[in-house]
Amino acid sequence: MQQNVLQSWNDDQWPVVRKSQPLPTGEGVLDAGAFNTIEVDELFDHVNYASSVAGQTVLYRSLTQPLADLDAIEAKQAAVREIRDNPDVRLNVENIVADAAASEDRLYLLLFGEFLGGFGTARERHQIEGYGYKQYRRGVNAVLNLVGAIQNSGLPQTPYLQSVFDKIANFSNSNDYSLMVGPVYNSEQGIQSKQERKNSFSPATIFRPTLFKPMLIGLIIAAIWGLAKVFPTDLFQFTRDGISVASVFFLPLMLAYIPVIGGYDRDNCIIPLRNRFRQSQALGELLDGLGQLDELLAFIKYSESYGSETVLPEMQATERHAMQLLSAKNPVLGNKNPAYVGNDFEMGEDRLVCVTGPNSGGKTAFCKTITQIQVLAQIGCYVPARLAKLSVADRIFYQAPEISHLDDGEGRFGTELKRTRDIFLATTSKSLLVLDEMAEGTTFEEKMQSSIDVLDGFYRKGNSTILITHNHQLVDVFVKRRITSPKQVEFADELPTFRLIPGISRVSHADRVAKKIGFSKQDIENYLTKS
């Protein structure tokens, strides 16, 4: 079961946005290898228009663990459309999120702040000076104000948005809400709310988040007055300066009152309350609801600020993975870059697409475009394209060459092959797979045979496989079998156009690249001659 944001933070430290992790290979849509290769962290940086910490945490969690359920994806898309198309709903959601984002640090200070003691001075945002009264009041009010804002809002139309509003509003039915509203009772059974006190008859004190305790102060004054009546003495007579001699005794008493009462409230009320709130499922759901609202706004803001055409993709539940994209741009590289070249791409009956071409032609960037768009589509977000029709992928894999480690024991070829094996066992006909070169670290003959065997296996499993390769001989094998659609990156006057066109690239631009970086044959000769 997916953790709510409070559960993911709950380690006694200040909230960390990038806390979620991809699931192990075969258990989620993305595994760690694909997550890193697709550069989801950088994708998050570009899509992250969330204004609250809760919103950023939910968005990062979504990208880490994309949805694989068509109904859930379409429900989020419908909520995005409602906010986008209804100005009143959008204004309401924006106001709710903005107000909550402005005060959420107050709640986090209460939940995760470091107490400095009665006379400490806070110099960092996570430090609490004094006894925590102010921080308690402000943290609790941040929650109560969010609940009140939702309760005073009209009910949205789409089920997903309704469920998010309900997540926040339902906090008012919890015992933790009763504690925040007060009164809070401190008894032998510990902290109790008004609800919990209904069937309890044990004596209890009422906690009020202030040093000023009228009843306690009144009792102290009454006790002193009674003492003066029982034991008449000159100590309680005023001098001609208008100052009672008893003030000599009262002043130390008052000085003791502050640390005794403040320390008691902090240790026996505020800290137990914050520990309880930190473990609260209801409060975690409320913060999740805030994060989900902010995430929906982030999708819309990303679309509006991207700088090129974006669309909510048409998602489909099919027996096999398929996709159709028109003028698709990279979600990261094309952001605020209207000149970025878009490409059309389609995978239907063809289960294998081989992409060839020289280095720096855009092969890898294009394949990351495909996989990043698939990820964005499966969190309910806009994608940069003129048209996008996508099947829901149960798995998204991206295998790139890895450098073997000293303790691998298998070398580069074995390390890569183990990763390929794990992917093969986890894929289904609904999976999307990108293989960036294959069988590195062995002879050409072994590379050819191993690659043919592996690609044959993936083809028979029926998933969508995109192969990036310089090996046109390998592509020829599958073209002859008529089971691949070969694509190549286009060059004009030895310069890449970054367009994907039909065909197989059989030329190498190694010399052009070597000249560009100053390490061509002539550069080497010049260096040796000068030396």
The string of pLDDT tens digits covering residues 87-99 is 999 999 999 999 9
Residue 189: band (very low, low, confident or very high) from pLDDT cuts 50, 70, 90? confident
Residue 182: band (very low, low, confident or very high) from pLDDT cuts 50, 70, 90? confident
The string of pLDDT tens digits covering residues 514-525 is 777 787 788 888
| Confidence check: pLDDT of 299 > 90 | yes
Domain 5-174+280-302: CATH architecture, name and number where available: Orthogonal Bundle (1.10)
> Over pLDDT 90: what percentage of the chain?
58
What number of residues does the chain have?
A: 531
Helix axes 444-461 and 472-480, enclosed angle (nearest 10): 40
- What pLDDT sits at residue 234? 53
- What pLDDT sits at residue 33? 93
- What pLDDT sits at residue 338? 92
Stretch 256-283: mean pLDDT, rounded? 86
Which comes out higher in pLDDT, residue 428 or 437? Answer: 428
| Confidence check: pLDDT of 142 > 70 | yes
- What pLDDT sits at residue 413? 74
Distance (Å, whole) CA 321 – CA 307: 29
The string of pLDDT tens digits covering residues 205-249 is 888 888 666 555 555 555 555 555 565 655 555 454 445 555 555
- CATH 1.10.1420.10 in the chain is located at 5-174+280-302
Q: Where are the alpha helices (DSSP H) in 152-213?
A: 159-169, 175-181
Q: Which two three-digit tokens encode residue 323?
A: 């996709």
**Long-range Cβ pairs for the range 160-168 (8 Å, 24+):** 160/75, 160/76, 160/78, 160/79, 161/79, 161/82, 161/83, 161/89, 161/296, 164/79, 164/289, 164/292, 164/293, 165/289, 166/289, 167/285, 167/286, 167/288, 167/289, 167/292, 168/286, 168/289, 168/290
Q: What does pTM read for this prediction?
A: 0.88
- Looking at domain 308-530, its CATH class is alpha beta
Degrees to nearest 5, angle at CA 428 with 425 and 432: 105
Of 162-166, 193-197, 208-212, 231-235, which range is least confident? 231-235
Closest to 209 in 3D by CA, of 102, 99, 110: 110
- CATH 3.40.50.300 in the chain is located at 308-530
Mean of per-residue pLDDT scores for the chain: 86
Stretch 424-432: mean pLDDT, rounded? 95
